[in-house]
Structure 1
Amino acid sequence: MAISFDNALGIHEKAVGVRIQRAEILANNIANSDTPNYKARDIDFESVLQGVQGGQQPLQMSRTSDEHSTGLISADYASELMYRIPSQPSVDGNTVDVQAEMARYTENAIDYQASFQFLNNKFKGLTSAIKGE
């Protein structure tokens, strides 16, 4: 009997991947907190995960040259990125609120750890089942 990892691991495998993508986006926002006219971006984790879980892949972006940069995040998720509405506009046009971005990054890191721990427990259970323990 073959093991289906999709069924065995559940949604946690996909959740870890989406959390990694979101961490890159949030880190990019923090890194550009002093860049004039930089617009903070984020993804809606739940809608992206539902799309991935439902078998829908994000819209595929095409590159006309292999030398084109894909940026920090996968180009496949670029269509899912949304601009953040600032709570207090900046004079230079930057919409990054560093404290809010740091809080979101920390929350995302905690959620990543939880999903990773769930995956780890699933693998331990599979290993025990294979060993017959």
Structure 2
Amino acid sequence: MAISDMPMLSALRTKMQWHQERQRVLAENVANSDTPKFRPRDLVEPKFDKVGGPAAGGGMGQLPMMRAQGVNISPAGASATFAQNNRVGYETRPAGNAVNLEDEMLKVSANQMDFAAASSLYSRSLGLLKTAIGKR
């Protein structure tokens, strides 16, 4: 087995490929921000198990809020899940376009930062493994 075929490095490589493809999809959304009846698209993030392989369950649900020992104070009117601030839909303009440039640009910058973190972790892990086996 090659060093780059290890499950953790393979998962990081898959994650970087996903970020690359997501950047392409988000760029299409921005480019079509004035196209009539265009709906923005996004990709579903890949899920991995503890070993680094694809997760069997697939999608991630909402996490319920839990109380530790019943002493936590909950704010008035708080939602029962952490996903309370997620927007459900997009505002559609009269031409039928639903692209919100501010949201898309936030997604683009978050995607760039996540890709940079994954690529840095990949290169450092690969370098550490090469050092450990004496090839560096």
**TM-score, length basis structure 1:** 0.66
The letter of the residue matching 2:105 is M
- Decide which structure has the larger Cα Rg and report it: 2
Structure 1 match to 2:30: 30
C-alpha contact 1:30 1:98 (8 A) present in aligned 2: yes
* CA deviation vs aligned residue, 1:16-42 (integer Å, no higher than 9, x gap): 011111111101000100111111111
Structure 2 unmatched ranges of 5 or more: 57-87
Q: CA deviation at 1:10?
A: 4.9
Q: Which structure has greater strand proportion? A: 1
Q: CA deviation at 1:53?
A: 3.6
Structure 2 match to 1:42: 42
CA 53–90 in structure 1, closer or farther in 2 if over 3 Å, else same: farther
Q: Which structure has greater helix proportion? A: 1
Give me the identity figure in percent.
24
Report 1:1-133 matches (<5 A).
2-4=1-3, 5-7=5-7, 9-45=9-45, 48-50=46-48, 53-54=53-54, 85-86=89-90, 88-131=91-134
CA distance in 2, matches of 1:132, 1:102: 41
The letter of the residue matching 1:7 is P
Structure 1 unmatched ranges of 5 or more: 57-83
For this pair of structures, how many residues does the alignment match?
102
The letter of the residue matching 1:106 is S
Secondary structure of 2:42's counterpart equals: strand
CA 8–98 in structure 1, closer or farther in 2 if over 3 Å, else same: closer
**TM-score, length basis structure 2:** 0.65
After the TM superposition, which segments of 4 or more aligned residues of structure 1 sit over 6 Å from their partners? Answer: none
CA distance in 2, matches of 1:7, 1:26: 28
Secondary structure of 1:102's counterpart equals: helix
Q: CA RMSD in A?
A: 2.6
Q: CA deviation at 1:132?
A: 6.3
